[in-house]
Structure 1
Amino acid sequence: MNAAQRNRHTALLKATGFEDSPALTVNSSDGELPQGREISFAWLAGITLTGLTSFLLMMAALQVSFRGEDTFSTPYEALSIQAPTRTASLGETLQGKTRRAKPVTQTVSDRQIIEASVREVVDGVARIRNQPFTRIEATLATAATTLSEDIPDYDPVALLARNEPMRANGSSDAVSTDIYGADVEGEVTIRTAALPLDLTPNRAVNDVAAAQFVRMSVEGAYTEAELSTFSYAAIGNERLRELDVRPSNVVAGIAENVTVLPMTRFGDGSTQTRTERVLTVREETPLDEVLIRNGFSNAMVSAVIRAMRNVMPQTVMPAGTRLRILFGASRTSDSLIPYRLSIYADTTHRVTVALTDSGQYVLALEPPAIPFTDEDTEEVNVANLPTIYRAIWETGRKHNLDDQTIDRIAAMYAYDLDLTRRVSPGDSIDILLSGSPRDDEQDLLYVNLKLGNTERELFRFRTEDGVVDFFNSDGETGKQFLLRRPLEGGGTLRSRYGYRRHPVFGDYRLHSGVDFSARTGTPIYAAGEGVVERAQWFSGYGRYVEIRHANGYATAYAHMSAIADGITPGTQVNQGQVIGYVGSTGVSTGPHLHYEIKINGHTVDPLAVKLPRANSLPPQYNAEFDQTVAQIRTLMQHESSQPSVTVAATN
């Protein structure tokens, strides 16, 4: 670059504000303005460390806030982010913009300890002693939680095997329901002795002795309400009823040609799966017990108590404490899991804990307020209603019944009811057990399952040979003559009995049986004891078996993939014996069992026909059994020796 070019560049640089100055240096003594051109290592190091420290602190704060999550959304309904501004009804809570509010039903979970004086005979000696009994009266669960997640799979044939009569053991022999008419203290032994022949009664009694006898035996011994025990004719309207003379306020007559149906059920179109339960702790109870009985697992209980420790360290719930539990769908099972728990001291909010996306329970704001009532309540969602089978297990475990007793109860109703049908709100169960909950073993004495408007009672009875079984009030067992779902696991009901449009041919015709879908190869059982009439390929039925039973009954099984070995015409089969396997042979749209019941050659609805019982008490036990029924009914009406305790385990 020549001198002219260099001068031109220098002029341009000066014009733009640049100047020719000494280079930057770390020595403050060089240059005319060293303070403007010097480099400070201390300043540079400070700036670098400040930036690095700020970056690390920001990253740490974000990591702690987000807990390592890659998503930070939390359901609005599960964690309230605004303080409630109004009081909402339970049905409106968490409802959002829906067209209808979810119905709310009252739930009952009552456990009473009944003390009664019973009479029993041991080694020929009669004793009268106080015997405790436990009565459980509860509505069937309307939501399935983790409490019943590990129950045995529903299998009607397996239930049949578990419902065999029991042999009385030592504890069973000691159970007595013979109610003595008066209360006793301790234990009274009664001995019978012959009247001495030389004992001569006095011919007369003096006035003093007569007056004393009256005072001791008559005066004050009976109340006005009990005076009817001395009369030959009943007091009130009983005599009028005998003479068929009825007061004007008594409705007479018997309804005929009337079908009794349960109360109207709610529509099945609901897809909402969340439901809220409100319950009251009636007696001082540890929080973990309350939560376990209401669908919390042990891990959930620990997480909840840990989350509320700083706000509410007390883990024993005093009487009057109210709990609101919001349940929602689980990602890993068909059970509902607790999304949110709120605890109230009467109506004052104490603490709320809610579930986050990562499965942790953390403190949350109080949910929208609702009006509390004296009764325990629960939102009912048809999508959440469990089967009768699971509802029995859920309710039994809530009340600390052992699994063997619960399984026995389910087995006793397995062939009188379709246990795969869903429960209805208000269905309930009443149970009577010997002893108190503190006893190691309690014997089941009585069960009453109330479904809709029907009740099915079963009473425990022991015969002279030591066999214990359960019978209805007519002395019949709950075992049916024929199985209604004769395949392993019961299958899934796909098509009912009645007229329908044929899925293959498209015409409208009678479907003469019921279809249960199941995997190909699922074992099919003989519905009852009988003789094989046909075992072959039969037109559109494919591989087909027909069995003749007693009293004009017959059953048929169609579309089998294979007929079991040894099942040929003339073969005698027993109830529960494998006769074939599910398939899709013949005119069929998929693997299923087509099952028919015929009476005198005419098909009937297998799920609705009233079937004869398989076993009844011999006539010689009728009087003793009637006495047992009367005694148990007396116990069920007996006043509790303790205040009624509502267990914090409502539905």
Structure 2
Amino acid sequence: MQNLTQSSEKEFLGELPPLYLKRANQKIERRRISFRWLAGTVLTALTSTLLLGGALFTALDGRQQLTIPAQAYDQESILESTKKILATKGARPSRTTTDGLPKENDIMMIPTVSREGSRDVVKEKPFLHIVSPLAAAVTGDFSYPKFNPLTIFSASNLPELTAHSNVLIYGADVEGEITFTTTDFPYDSPNLYLARQKDAVEIEELVRNTAPILNIGSTSVISVAYFDPRRFTTSENTLLSPTGAIITAENVSTLSRSTNNEYIGTYYEERLVRLNTARSILSTLKKEDVIGQEAKSISLALASNLSSDIFQRNDRLRIFFEMKNGAGQETLSNDRSIARISVYRAGAHLVSIAKAKNGTYRYAQEPARIAELSIPDKKIKLLAKSALPTIYDAIHRTALSEGITPNIVKELIRIVSFDVDFKARVRTTDGISIFLNLEEGQEKPTDRSDILYAGIKLGNTLRRYYRYLDNDTGKVGYFDENGKSAKQFLLRQPVPNGRFTSPFGMRRHPVTRVRKMHSGVDWAAPRGTPILAAGNGVVEKASWAGGSGRRTVLRHANGYKTNYLHQTRFAKGIKPGVRVRQGQIIGYVGSTGLSTGPHLHYEVVVNGNKVNPLRIKFPSGKTLKGTKLAEFKAERDRIDALLKKRQEENQMIIALN
């Protein structure tokens, strides 16, 4: 009995032999059990930490501050309260703005119209507007061809510019996609009856005869041809005054316009502000005429979120004011309060404060973004004056750094080539503006993008070039704001790489030693250097001409001719009657005839008189006329209005001093 009692006591106290697995002499390996326990504990701790951290981050909505002032909350829903403030029945709406996400460049969605078969399609498409100083210090290694005027002006190896798309700016805002078909008006239709148009006397008689039978409050509508409604002004006509007859155009309603001070009720105004310097929140609100308890409540809520009571330099504010007018009284300062204020920094939204129904301020969701506030300030660093590049290099570096493809840059160089000295150095005030279309879904230009407008400012001169698509030929040209071609009528230097050696005027001939008139200019160049056609024209002669050696004569428009002497050979296909275009290779520099070395003797003849090619004022190139000029001006005006509107939107951000 005693042994049984001791056995039960040992079992109760745990004094039993150790457990064994499989074999009686194999003990449990305590180190293996400890490792598994440790691994499980660590994994559990990590998982718990991640879950807890994610839950806290979601609950705080990205806020890095755990404490929020109690006055920033009440029991109502933030979203519902904001809707009640901004959508009160009877209140005037605020200024409408376009929602937009921040982009690296100024990308715009613009309504366009294009021809697809027999239909016209109107829909929004992306466009890119780039404005940049040519002296900007760009980063990156850009590869582009070295400056070679021959490759720029020569048209022999370059195709004529063609449009990759036939889209035109529509000039009005649209929603979605609109398709319509335009047909001629059926003047010859037997169902169409054309009545004789009434003159002003007949219309006046008709109105005066109808006016006396009208009762007060009744309306009589009649369709008549256009006439001057001032013939029936009530101030001069006592007959029409009692009846209340009003002459208005068709589909037009007459409504007297009231100013904000005359309007009775609540309306809203939006103000965009950018701070030039760091400033306290209270002083910033004071400059916006927000004072007293309202300013203190907003300042406390903003300071708590921003962890500072000071706005930083370049911070941007979007302030939505609630304005109230009473009957017969003008707006007072205490009738103007902030309905919502949002703070942006470096393009990112920081915090929004909205006014609740009970008059307190609390945190609200970010309003729909607008590009003016979302795009961070682009810091442009200019190169030192000692390191300023040539205009040729600056255009390439600036355009390539903005994502424009090399082929589009080549087109840009060709557009401005007749007005720009590419070897000159840029100034710190020089700049370039490019407006081009993008393919749908793209944010960067491709080789299928078209330059619709290019502007380049060099010194005090601004040159502008607009694209014009000739629907008859499908060809593209670039013209100035008056419809004059960007191309010159004639080139002054048909050998782009040539060296000027002899001017126009009297001189002693280097071979005959006889003093005589030198009726052209000489451009020295290595033998075989290509010679370009100075302008569009027809080959009149291409043959040997005695002391002139091999000579080509081109006939141009308006009585102009150009002569090219001392060529070593003619280009393939150059013979009388052949049409050539400006920049086409017509021959090669040589020293045939009476010549002391390889060079081109270049002459310009006007109505049979030889003139100085370097001093004569050439007429401008092709000039648009008639319906083509009207079409060009319409597209030019749409582009100008669009870019001006964009500039005004960007200038809406008001800097506080």
Shorter chain as normaliser: what TM range? Answer: 0.3 to 0.5
TM-score by length of 1: 0.45
Give the TM-score taking structure 2 as reference length.
Answer: 0.45
Higher RCO by CA contacts (8 Å cutoff, separation 6 or greater)? 1
